[in-house]
Amino acid sequence: MISIRLPDGSSRSFDKPVSVAEVAASIGPGLAKAALAGKVDGKLVDTSHVIDRDADVAIVTDRDTEGLEVIRHSTAHLLAYAVKDLFPDVQVTIGPVIEDGFYYDFSYKRPFTPDDLAAIEKRMAELAKKDEPVVRELMQRDDAVQYFEGLGEHYKAEIIASIPSDEPISLYREGAFTDLCRGPHVPSTGRLRVFKLTKLAGAYWRGDSRNEMLQRVYGTAWAKNRFSPAQLRYPKGPILNTVLASANSPIASNATAVTSVSEIGNALSPWTSPSAVICARSRRSSTMNRTW
């Protein structure tokens, strides 16, 4: 028998290995529906995670801080899914959770525009409504490198190649999109209901100015509609310090305005067109390490 100890001090026994989702369902249908992830002996895991020994288990919902982090991280993956669906030639890199939201960096042949951002957000909403399962898969490192190279995702392959060869690689699949990630993630895209893309920026690959300038898309997400009026005014809002674009910038050369924001890093220059300067309050972010 497997004994599962719950936060209220009670225990439940199971005669075979049980998933976090099954533990939640044994407590009640409401909790099963609300479950976003779980904590097993203090470790944050997917609801599909199987428990095969006695353990302390807590069900994570959108009322928990960890639940909001999972929502935001999963929304970053939804963003990448939408971008790849709309722009198949894009290469994806990383998409971590940051303070008040998330971002994802992309390599593409041209700068994204405000119209692109609106189209991406619309596609995200369409994909979320499909409620596709988010499934975790394990792969050996060298197989994962080969897999992403075969997809033309050279940045992902480079990241994976730097991981020790004896460390299993976890991938997350939702619909036609697969990404490298430690997780955890929401059980399905339908759990992602409230999100907003807030701005575009440039960021050097691995933070090194000798590398390619990538395009960074910022966004935020919540369990419920908690956007402030300022966030909902996108793409309008208070304009930050704007300077003329440098013709030497790979991204800015095709944009007519560049916004410098010291709080978000030395290798970063948010840029927009003059017709719609995309901006949002920028805070010094502490990136949560949920990507390799």
pLDDT tens series, the chain, 292 aa? 999 999 999 999 999 999 999 999 999 999 999 999 999 999 999 999 999 999 999 999 999 999 999 999 999 999 999 999 999 999 999 999 999 899 999 999 999 999 999 999 999 999 999 999 999 999 999 999 999 999 999 999 999 999 999 999 999 999 999 999 999 999 999 999 999 999 999 999 998 999 999 999 999 999 986 655 454 444 433 322 222 222 233 333 333 233 323 233 333 333 333 323 333 333 333 333 344 5
Domain ranges of the chain: 2-61, 66-132+186-272, 137-170
Beta bridge partners, 194, equal 222
d(C-alpha 157, C-alpha 140), whole Å? 13
Q: Which amino acid is residue 8, in one-letter code?
A: D
Comparing CA positions, the residue from 193, 195, 151 lying closest to residue 173 is: 151
Catalogue the E-assigned strands of 70-122.
91-92, 97-98, 101-107
Comparing CA positions, the residue from 270, 276, 143, 289 lying closest to residue 217 is: 270
Fold: same for 2-61 and 66-132+186-272: no
Tell me the DSSP string of 125-187.
HHHHHTT-BEEEEEE-HHHHHHHHHHTT-HHHHHHHHTS-TTSPEEEEEETTEEEE------S
Q: Which amino acid is residue 242, in one-letter code?
A: T
Predicted pLDDT of residue 279: 31
User: Which CATH superfamily groups domain 2-61?
Assistant: Beta-grasp domain (3.10.20.30)
Q: Which helix (H) or strand (E) holds 32?
A: helix 29-34
Second-level CATH architecture of 66-132+186-272: 2-Layer Sandwich (3.30)
Predicted pLDDT of residue 224: 82
Predicted pLDDT of residue 46: 98
Instruction: Count the helices and strands in the chain (H runs, E runs).
Output: 7, 18
Residues 6+ apart with CB under 8 A from 202: 213, 214, 215, 216, 249, 250, 251, 252, 268, 269, 270, 271
